[in-house]
Amino acid sequence: MKSISNSSLPTFLVETREEAERVVADEIASLVRAKPEAVLGLATGNTPIGVYRELIQKCATRETSFARATTFNLDEYLDLPPGHAGSFRVWMQRTLFAHLDLAPERTNLPELDGAVSGNAIDAHAVAAHYESSIRAAGGLDLQILGIGRNGHIGFNEPGSSRDSRTRVVQLHATTREDAARSFGGIEAVPVRALTMGVATILDARRIRVLAFGAHKSAIVRRTLFDDVSSECPSTFLRGHADVALYVDREAASELDVVRRSRV
């Protein structure tokens, strides 16, 4: 692993994504061993899958127990029936929760549960409650993040402000396109979601960001070098007191320092 930081955001180049996945999983495991009641911020999608695989392994071998930990996911779709196969709750259950010793009542997503209809007022109440639940749990110790091709973090799409909090958002076209496969077509992808805000994410004591593959190369470059602004919400990560970005060679391929093969 090589540091390619220009100091705007500490960045590490890995030869394989597995290398980064192991580093981040080891860090999470150390955190949870040192502080069993740690509060973890989780993401869905392709990016964190290998980290989750590593955590499952650590739990299976009894190296690390998550029994006293609490988790808060970044986001969840709105307007899906409970238990819908495309929901992040179902994805998290299948990918991680079913394989760890987490207490089910301490796995949180910003979701409307079955009893609540999907109307806007309920969703706003759930958003406010999610913010206060994170605070009541003591805040996020470590947040895992992927970056959307349009610079979104969580579902904070371009236009999201630095001080945004958990709220209802409209999903952008690129976000819905990227989700189309999980829903069997773009028409079936929800148009609204609940997401932690940019400020909610930046309040995490540590943030570990991962980006793998050529389709992330432009957004990695923009995250590091665009002006810090709502136009590219991932730029807000710069300046966080304890953030690190892990990229493979494909995701780093638009960075001059890598293109010129100086690392």
Q: Give contact residues for ligand F6R (rule: CB under 6 A).
A: 43-47, 74-75, 146-148, 152-155
Task: Pick the closer one to ligand F6R by CB: 146 or 190.
Answer: 146
> Which one of the listed residues 21, 108, 131, 150 is annotated catalytic?
150
Kindly tell me which of 147 and 255 has the beta carbon lying closer to ligand F6R: 147
CB of 26 to ligand F6R, least distance (A): 20
Q: Which among 187, 191, 206 is positioned nearest to 143, based on CA atoms?
A: 206
Nearest-approach distance from CB 76 to ligand F6R, in angstroms:
8
Q: Is 124 a catalytic residue?
A: no
3-state secondary structure of 244: strand
Nearer to ligand F6R, 153 or 232 (CB): 153
Q: Of these residues, 73, 108, 111, 152, which one is catalytic?
A: 152
Alpha-carbon dihedral 13, 213, 10, 172, rounded to 10 degrees: 180
Nearer to ligand F6R, 68 or 221 (CB): 221
Beta-carbon-side half-sphere exposure of residue 126 (alpha carbons within 13 Å): 25
Q: Hey, which bits of 83-151 come out as E strands?
A: 107-108, 142-145
CA-to-CA dists, residue 163 to 157, 229, 230, angstroms: 13, 12, 10
β-pairing verdict for 75-77 and 2-3: unpaired
**Catalytic residue from among 21, 54, 73, 75:** 75
Q: Active-site residue 73, yes or no?
A: no
Q: Active-site residue 157, yes or no?
A: yes
| Set 54, 157, 203, 248: catalytic member | 157
Beta strands in 34-118 (DSSP E): 39-42, 70-73, 75-77, 107-108
CB of 62 to ligand F6R, least distance (A): 28
Q: Give least dist CB 175 to ligand F6R, A.
A: 7
Is 75 labeled as catalytic in the residue annotation?
Answer: yes
Give burial (CB, 10 Å; 0-12/13-18/19+) of 237.
Answer: buried
Q: Which is nearer to ligand F6R, 65 or 230 (CB)?
A: 230
CB of 261 to ligand F6R, least distance (A): 26
6 neighbors 43 (Cβ within 8 angstroms): no
Residues with catalytic annotation?
75, 150, 152, 157
